[in-house]
Structure 1
Amino acid sequence: MSKTPPKSTKKVAKPSSTGTIKYIKWFWIVFILGISSVILLFLLASWGAFGDMPRFEELENPKNDLATQIISSDGVQIGTFFEENRTPIEFKDLPTHLTEALVATEDARYYEHSGIDARGTLRAIVYLGKNGGASTITQQLAKQLFHGTRTKGWRRYTQKIKEWVIATRLERQYTKDEIMTMYLNKYDFLNQAIGISSASRIYFNKSPKELKKEEAAMLVGMLKNSALYNPLRRPEMVTKRRNVVLSQMEKYGYINVAEKDSLQQLPLGIDYAPEGHSDGLATYFREFVRSWMKKWVRDNPKGEDENGPILYDIYRDGLKINVTIDSRMQKYAEEAVKEHMSNLQKEFDKQEKSNKTSPFRDLTTEQIDGIINRAIKNSARRRAMLAEGKSEEEIKASFDKKTKMKVFSWKGEVDTIMTPRDSIRYYKGFLRAGMMSMEPQTGQVKAWVGGVDYKHFQYDQVYQGARQVGSTFKPFVYATAIDQLKLSPCDTMPRSQITIPDGSHGVVGKDWIPKNSDGKYEGYMTLKAALANSVNTISARLLDRIGPEPIVRLAQKMGVESEIQEVASICLGSVDLKLSEMVGAYSTFANQGIYTKPVMITSIEDKNGTILYQFVPETQDVISKDAAYVTVNLMEGVTQSGSGARLRSGPSNRYDYKNVITGYPYQFRNPIAGKTGTTQNQSDGWFMGMVPNLCTGVWVGGDDRATHFRSTLFGQGAAMALPIWGLYMKKCYADESLKVSTKAFPKPKDLSIEVDCKEFRKSIQKDDDSGDEFGF
């Protein structure tokens, strides 16, 4: 019989719950402490323990320096004034493919999180940032707006905490669309392109709305690091980055594979349009606007505090200046100046090869040295050295020391080594030009070209430069005589010489006997033929009849502010006037005797669209409609049979080098009133040309009057200045959207002065047979 083994007295340990409870307890303690620490960190950050945090007001209105925009009459931004070239736009102005590219590349769950992407943050922690960062678009905006560049060490972690706090606040304050727009408006794309609007214009010469998908992808690619992905310096690297963005767009379903593959094969297509002050359209005009605005802000403060008036800041306040310039007409004007002046300069340089005193003529060595020394005295280099405390001896020596510099040429800037003194003489050899175009009825200036290149020739030949006007002053003489004496274009006068005695009409010293340029003095001429051919003796006879005083008064009523001496020689154009004055005055003739003050700025708005300034037209009745129309009729003769007749020229079968230089043929068939002007020694060439709704003036000459052509073949206004007018008008007429008139000038009802010479001859044969019809 088997025995049952005795039971063991040793106790078997039961599973204890004490350890499990202990681990759970510590887990929750650590978890709660972790959560509490995170909350505490967020609270400390929000209280400013890790540095200043933005106040609610700052979050509501983040401070950005906004560029002042200059907007043309056809709605194109032609320039900006800025500390930061930022032009804000709204979300509705962003193309859909731009926002899609941004989300696909920078923040795929942008519309799902509330400022912080938890999944992205966890991934960044696990992979130590090696598998993509965790910054959302909102966090990147927070960094840009309130705490700047990346830091190192422990500060990098506190910065990230601040970034999270600000991001969540931004998400509560703004919509997703607003945050995205603020981010794109804030980012610096380099090359003075701050914000997506500036970047679109500068890199592609278009607005954001016009960006193509591949262009938008390039700009989004730059958001990673614009200094690294700079399309002007590293196009290959930027192309690869752009293609990464396109791949991301395909990954998230914004484009298909075929479209991605097609877009990735395209070149960048950069159309670089820099917006520095010396770059872009209407540079001289923009400088005029800047000067005008400086005075306007002084006279129109936006408020006042204990320190005095609070002035608008044109570089930071985001004003909008609406101007009269038409961007299309401005472009055509600049093209015409460049096209003609580059050709004219070639001919000038060719002639100067045989000139031992080039670029000056008719001067002694002492006179030339005087010109150069005056230029040195007035130079920016000398002013800068004086500000540095340099002595006159040191300054003088510096002008004779060779140095590296970039100089202007019609083929582009040239790197060279020369002394500053030699560079002054080099620049004196370039012919200058000015051009202004204006609507006579409204006074609105549509084009303004102050010189051939603003960066190198900053003196504005439209508004600053007063030059001798020559025969372009004669219409003022004729208009005064017509207004007072009711003369007809068909009236005849002798070409013979006239003597204006000493003491008469401002003549001092000896009798004045003007001469005709062609040396001919026989027979009679109609007034229309006399003006068309600039016959000096007939202009002098008119002045002798009416005196210089009423002529000066007429010019002043037409907006001429420069001083005009009441002397007989003004009938030949001895006076110096500004091109802007001449265009305003001539417009009076086309506007039926009513002077309209030239207008450049129509209105100014603040960044919220509130109107701060609105221009008020200024007009004045100057001469009768009849006198204005007859004067226009006289000037039509200039382009029909006089010095401006080349505007009617057609193609020639023979090669004519002069025609190549001066831009023939023009082949205009519509009515054109105009007047050429050439001053002594061919120093100044003028052409004033009008059609019913556009008056345009052109001046061409050297910086100094001693810089000129050796003969009138190229040195007359018809060869120097008229071609610019012709090229410009051809371009304007080709653009039918401008609606530049081809019609006849409006004829007053019941015109009391006969302009039809055939009918005029019939009438005078009945009235007078004396042979001395007018008593001159």
Structure 2
Amino acid sequence: MTTKKQTPPTQDFSKYVRWFWIVFSGAILFVILIFLLASWGAFGEMPDHTVLENPKTNLAAEIISSDGKTIGKFYLNDNRTPISYEDLPKHLVDALIATEDARFQSHSGIDAIGTLRAVVKLGGGGGASTISQQLAKQLFHGEGSKNIVERMLQKVKEWIIAIRLERQYTKEEIIAQYFNIYDFGNNADGIRSAARIYFGKEPKDLDLKESAMLVGMFKNSSLYNPRPNRNPIGVRNRRNVVLAQMYKYDFIDEKVKDSLQKTDLDLNYNPESHREGIATYFRTYLDGFMKDWIKNNPKPDGSKWNLYNDGLKIYTTIDSRMQQYAENAVEQHMARLQKEFFNQNTPERNATAPFLDLNNDEIESLMNRSMRQSERWRHMKYDLKKSDAEIKASFQKPTEMTVFAYVKGKPSEIDTIMKPMDSMRYYKSFLRTGMMSMDPQTGHVKAWVGGVNYRHFQYDMVKQGKRQVGSTFKPFVYTTAIDQLHYSPCDEFPDTPFCIEKNKFGNPEDWCPQNSDGKYGGIRTLKNALANSVNTVTARLMDKVGPKTVIDLVKKLGIDSNIPEVPSIALGTADISVYEMVGAYAAFANKGVYTKPVMVTTIEDKNGTVLYQFKPETRDVVGEETAYVTVKLLEGVTQYGSGARLRRTGEPYGVYKEIITGYPYAFTNPIAGKTGTTQNQSDGWFMGMVPNLVTGVWVGAEDRAAHFRTITYGQGAAMALPIWGLYMKSCYKDETLNVSTGNFDVPKELSINVDCSGNSEGERMEDAKEKVEEELDFG
């Protein structure tokens, strides 16, 4: 009997297929739900249409010079100044796309191919983030958590925001935003700061290899930071990877790639901070100006502007070229002058160095007073709550510190170990300076140098500091006499001992000034007397016009400092700032019209809306004729007096050769000026004018007890005048500045005689000039 083989029953797979589709559809729906929940904000706040349109980023306030250069910024954490896509060079954009997102132009925020590759290879084939996703991450939620679930949710939010960004902005706008938002390290927030800090140029001026280096930093700006001596090999290798990517995607050819990969980085590192860069002292003044302006000028909604975050644009009168020339002149002269000061104040030559005319008890009192006024004392006393005894002890404890020094003629820093008290004395041995340059017609301040090094000497000697002005005050006495009594430069006065009697003008006792050299010279014209800074003639003029009349004049000339109503002010005993003196002298060059110095012309918000526009402040002080006669008197100073060395064509000899830099100045154009030297050579001044530029320079130490022993080095002509000469040489060399070489304008109606050639003046002036040249040659 045969048995029939049974056929196994057919297996039913339909339920598995059904479950597959259920799970698959459920997964799809779950993903859709996750995306919907994320877009609705279920996993954290998501930016809406308004926020996407105006993403919140901190924008630094930008300080812009009159010639259109950015000379500094105000910021706390973000040194960011946005630029538009049009300001990005093409090769910079190409480098970014080739390296970060090759399909950027074809996707809509998410690169499907890249995402699939990343999933299949579990991230081993490279990241899948598009530029749009990276921008979303930078703008709205940062790095996030390391928790895998939160990281996945973060990625979902990135995708949603990236898609929204693509709908909101053009591809070009996304590229520009990404370059503007990225932190390149070292205060280089955004591409503009990065280009300026690492290469000293604007983004549009970057070359191909520079662009490649900056794009290479997008991978990791800390690891691939090009700061000097940080990681040069790694940075160069990363730059070469970018160049290889550009070749891979046909942005450059192989020859260009190979040649650029062999080159060095060629950094031009220019750190941007509040203590570095150009015009540091001016920027400190501007910080105070802006805070005052913000206090009195709220936003339309009543809230306050934020100087550090709102992206204000501050247009100033400073000319970046003239500012650089001024800083160069200060650096060049002060290094040499300081060298001579140290040479004269060695312990062997001066047991109380750097002080003169003080005994040890007086020096101890001065140093103790300075100690109590120091920032170290304030910090320990009020922040650390230390006792006076503990603080004093700390000043005698050797401490590691970095101090200022001139190294090979350049401002520098050296690391050392020194007692804080010794470091205070060390810093008191350095000569300081203040310099300001201004257009007398507009009042626009073109250059402002408040000291030799802002990092170590932060007290501004242009506007904050006030020092005795010496003989630079004398022209105010002469101007008063010309205005009140119609004197001519050719009028003659006896150069003989003279006293203003007791009780006259409230004088408590007879005032009998002597000439600085103790000599007297018979009869002198006013022109000769001012050129040679003759004290007796100035005293005679003060006797005729009185101190109150002179003070009334200088107040109208913008000098607000306290000036006592006594005859001795004629010789410059009052403390006045460089800022005030330049503004006052400028009125002489501006035909008797005082124009208040201007530093800020316009303030705009980040969108270019004008928030502030300056209004000139002017007033008539003296007539055009009086101003012109004063100018002619001041021209005599640079023709025959202490300023005649500006016209010297030969090299200096003797002691001056080491400190008077930039010789020969050999100026041949009209220059009106006045030197000033105070008692004991504590302060040296020079005020110099040409028709469209007035510049004042002061040089001295922090304490008046630190000074040159003799007039040879301690006079304004040796301390301050060389800075003016160096600065003006540079200004004249730069023909784009159009600094005047012509004559001062002559009034249409001139009734006062200014030509003294008809009397014995010419012979006496030539004698004075020869005397100056003799002093210059032999010291």
Matches within 5 A, 1:297-316: 297-303=294-300, 309-316=302-309
Corresponding residue for 2:557?
Answer: 558
Structure 2 counterpart of 1:190, which letter? G
Cα pair distance change 1:761/1:371, threshold 3 Å:
closer
Corresponding residue for 2:136?
Answer: 142
Corresponding residue for 2:120?
Answer: 126
Corresponding residue for 1:401?
Answer: 397
Corresponding residue for 2:772?
Answer: none
Q: How many aligned residue pairs are there? A: 749
| Structure 2 Cα separation of the partners of residues 109 and 151 of structure 1 | 28
| Structure 2 Cα separation of the partners of residues 130 and 383 of structure 1 | 57
Corresponding residue for 1:163?
Answer: 158
Q: Secondary structure at the match of 1:634?
A: helix
Matches within 5 A, 1:622-633: 622-633=621-632
| Structure 2 Cα separation of the partners of residues 383 and 92 of structure 1 | 51
Corresponding residue for 2:286?
Answer: 289
| Structure 1 Cα separation of the partners of residues 577 and 38 of structure 2 | 64
Q: Secondary structure at the match of 1:704?
A: coil
Matches within 5 A, 1:201-600: 201-232=196-227, 233-303=230-300, 309-353=302-346, 354-385=349-380, 386-411=382-407, 412-508=412-508, 510-600=509-599
Q: Secondary structure at the match of 1:73?
A: coil
Structure 2 counterpart of 1:570, which letter? I
Which of residues 74, 84, 96 in structure 2 aligns to 1:81?
74
Any conservation in 2 of the 1:116–1:135 contact (CA below 8 Å)? Answer: yes
Any conservation in 2 of the 1:88–1:195 contact (CA below 8 Å)? Answer: yes
Structure 2 counterpart of 1:650, which letter? T
Summarize deviations over 1:272-329 as a string: whole Å, max 9, x none. 111110010100000101011111111111145xxxx521110111111111000000
Summarize deviations over 1:128-163 as a string: whole Å, max 9, x none. 112211111111111111111153132222211121
Q: Verify: 1:183 aligned to 2:181, yes or no.
A: no
Cα pair distance change 1:458/1:301, threshold 3 Å:
same
Summarize deviations over 1:22-65 as a string: whole Å, max 9, x none. 56544433432232222112112223333332233222211111
Which of residues 655, 660, 671 in structure 2 aligns to 1:662?
660
Corresponding residue for 1:613?
Answer: 612
Structure 2 counterpart of 1:185, which letter? N
Q: Secondary structure at the match of 1:472?
A: helix
Corresponding residue for 1:699?
Answer: 698
Offset at residue 399 of structure 1 (A): 1.4
| Structure 1 Cα separation of the partners of residues 636 and 583 of structure 2 | 21
Offset at residue 600 of structure 1 (A): 0.5
| Structure 2 Cα separation of the partners of residues 251 and 30 of structure 1 | 42
Structure 1 range deviating more: 88-97 or 24-33:
24-33
Corresponding residue for 2:39?
Answer: 46
Offset at residue 751 of structure 1 (A): 0.9
| Structure 2 Cα separation of the partners of residues 261 and 53 of structure 1 | 45
Offset at residue 9 of structure 1 (A): 6.4
Summarize deviations over 1:438-495 as a string: whole Å, max 9, x none. 0000000000000001111011000011100000001001111111111111111110
Q: Give the share of equivalent positions with the same residue, in percent.
A: 62
Summarize deviations over 1:664-708 as a string: whole Å, max 9, x none. 211111110000000000000000000000000000000000010
Summarize deviations over 1:534-588 as a string: whole Å, max 9, x none. 0100101111111111111110000000011111111111111011000000000
Structure 2 counterpart of 1:730, which letter? K
Structure 2 counterpart of 1:528, which letter? K
Structure 1 counterpart of 2:684, which letter? G
Corresponding residue for 1:67?
Answer: 60
| Structure 2 Cα separation of the partners of residues 360 and 442 of structure 1 | 42
Corresponding residue for 2:740?
Answer: 741
Q: Secondary structure at the match of 1:310?
A: coil
| Structure 2 Cα separation of the partners of residues 103 and 608 of structure 1 | 28
| Structure 1 Cα separation of the partners of residues 353 and 658 of structure 2 | 24
Summarize deviations over 1:93-126 as a string: whole Å, max 9, x none. 1111111100000000011111111111111111
Cα pair distance change 1:50/1:333, threshold 3 Å:
same
Structure 1: which 5+ residue stretches go unaligned?
A: 1-5, 763-776
Summarize deviations over 1:352-398 as a string: whole Å, max 9, x none. 01111011100011211122112111111122221222222222222
| Structure 2 Cα separation of the partners of residues 349 and 298 of structure 1 | 46
Cα pair distance change 1:740/1:7, threshold 3 Å:
farther
Structure 2: which 5+ residue stretches go unaligned?
A: 762-779
Matches within 5 A, 1:617-696: 617-652=616-651, 656-663=654-661, 664-696=663-695
Offset at residue 737 of structure 1 (A): 0.4
| Structure 1 Cα separation of the partners of residues 140 and 568 of structure 2 | 69
Any conservation in 2 of the 1:686–1:721 contact (CA below 8 Å)? Answer: yes
Offset at residue 18 of structure 1 (A): 4.8
Offset at residue 17 of structure 1 (A): 9.3
Corresponding residue for 1:755?
Answer: 754
| Structure 2 Cα separation of the partners of residues 266 and 749 of structure 1 | 65
Any conservation in 2 of the 1:659–1:665 contact (CA below 8 Å)? Answer: no
Structure 1 range deviating more: 31-40 or 253-262:
31-40
| Structure 1 Cα separation of the partners of residues 506 and 433 of structure 2 | 32
| Structure 2 Cα separation of the partners of residues 740 and 303 of structure 1 | 42
Corresponding residue for 2:765?
Answer: none
| Structure 2 Cα separation of the partners of residues 456 and 93 of structure 1 | 37
Structure 2 counterpart of 1:361, which letter? L
| Structure 1 Cα separation of the partners of residues 391 and 51 of structure 2 | 50
Structure 1 range deviating more: 353-362 or 152-161:
152-161
Corresponding residue for 1:774?
Answer: none
| Structure 1 Cα separation of the partners of residues 308 and 397 of structure 2 | 37
Q: Secondary structure at the match of 1:757?
A: coil
Corresponding residue for 2:87?
Answer: 93
Q: Secondary structure at the match of 2:730?
A: helix
Structure 1 counterpart of 2:486, which letter? K
TM-score (ref. length: structure 1): 0.94
Structure 2 counterpart of 1:121, which letter? T
| Structure 2 Cα separation of the partners of residues 517 and 655 of structure 1 | 24
Which of residues 85, 105, 115 in structure 2 aligns to 1:111?
105
Structure 1 counterpart of 2:461, which letter? Q
Offset at residue 750 of structure 1 (A): 2.0
Structure 1 range deviating more: 627-636 or 661-670:
661-670
Structure 2 counterpart of 1:662, which letter? I
| Structure 1 Cα separation of the partners of residues 608 and 373 of structure 2 | 42
